């Protein structure tokens, strides 16, 4: 059975940064990319808020660059999927593609989180052409334009108020006759003059043409009335699902499935397992914060392994 010092699951900014640091520390990490090599950033055309790219960079190209950097220092990148784990004893065990079991002295979990979508075919049609799941990432591209936001929780309220500072008007689409957001967030939305709330409304279709999104068709679920509103951007703020299914029963998670870590570290409840990036971050969810936590994960793993080797040597 193969045995690795550092095994990294996931290949976004967190996973690749962890690989870079672990490789430079001489730990010869192995990284399994998962089902979406490069993670969420591979679905983003333009990344303009990552330091060091004054002209911005294409999301997929950024992930290719990070992979090359990790490989330059000796990371072995495998395009395969971790399908099961056994963290009940050390060394830890990870099953790859439902067949091969690999032993690992430490594991860095960087599986990320996936934005929730409504499931409309038109969402896919206009992905990166006006449809986005991150206002902080993409709001800048809609300065001076009208946009729509779907959602009723704190995230939707935050994204709406954020976009209201950039856009001429924000249409907030709420399915019910009330929001789930905290009272203070609701008040911010209702007190912002260029946010219009569409109550009891569901998105029936995202409208557009070759240039991208041009509008949204709404259905009032109380009256059955349909109406089209003209927007150039369509933002989803209905939550994220952390990619943690294979860790259930193995790692401590919160009620939404995010991996719990010891504050100020990337340590999980299992010795030798570290969680980095969006899989453990339900607040920031940015490429730069994911990369930062990937660095932390590699340093935590390095310290763990050094201590373990000291104990084994004795």
What are the residue numbers of the active site? 134, 137-138
Q: Distance between CA atoms of 118 and 304, rounded to whole angstroms?
A: 42
Q: Distance between CA atoms of 180 and 154, rounded to whole angstroms?
A: 7
**46, 130 contact by CB (below 8 A):** no
């Amino acid at each position: 059975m193969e045995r690795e010092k550092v095994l990294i699951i996931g290949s976004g900014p967190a996973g690749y940064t962890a690989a870079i640091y672990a490789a430079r520390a001489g730990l010869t990490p192995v990284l399994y990319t998962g089902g979406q090599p490069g993670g969420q950033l591979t679905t983003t055309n333009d990344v303009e808020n990552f330091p060091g790219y004054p002209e911005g960079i294409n999301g997929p190209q950024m992930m290719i660059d990070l992979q090359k950097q990790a490989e330059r220092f000796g990371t072995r990148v495998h395009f395969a999927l971790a399908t099961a784990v056994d963290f009940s004893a050390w060394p830890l065990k990870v099953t790859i593609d439902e067949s091969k079991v690999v032993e690992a002295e430490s594991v860095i979990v960087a599986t990320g989180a996936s934005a929730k979508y409504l499931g409309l075919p038109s969402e896919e049609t206009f992905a990166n052409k006006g449809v986005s799941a991150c206002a902080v990432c993409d709001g800048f591209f809609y300065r001076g334009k009208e946009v729509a936001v779907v959602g009723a929780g704190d995230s939707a309220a935050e994204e709406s108020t954020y976009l209201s500072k950039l856009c001429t008007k924000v249409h907030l689409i709420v399915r019910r006759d009330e929001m789930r957001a905290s009272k203070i967030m609701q008040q911010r939305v209702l007190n912002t003059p260029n946010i219009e709330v569409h109550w009891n409304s569901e998105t029936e279709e995202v409208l557009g043409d070759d240039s991208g999104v041009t509008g949204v068709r709404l259905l009032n679920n109380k009256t059955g009335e349909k109406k089209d509103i003209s927007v150039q951007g369509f933002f989803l703020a209905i939550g994220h699902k952390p990619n943690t299914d294979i860790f259930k029963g193995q790692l401590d998670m919160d009620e939404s499935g995010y991996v719990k870590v010891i504050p100020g570290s990337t340590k999980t409840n299992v010795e030798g397992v570290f969680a980095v990036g969006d899989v453990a971050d339900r607040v920031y969810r940015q490429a730069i914060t994911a990369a930062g936590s990937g660095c932390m994960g590699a340093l935590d793993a390095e310290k763990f392994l050094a201590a373990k080797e000291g104990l084994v040597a004795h």
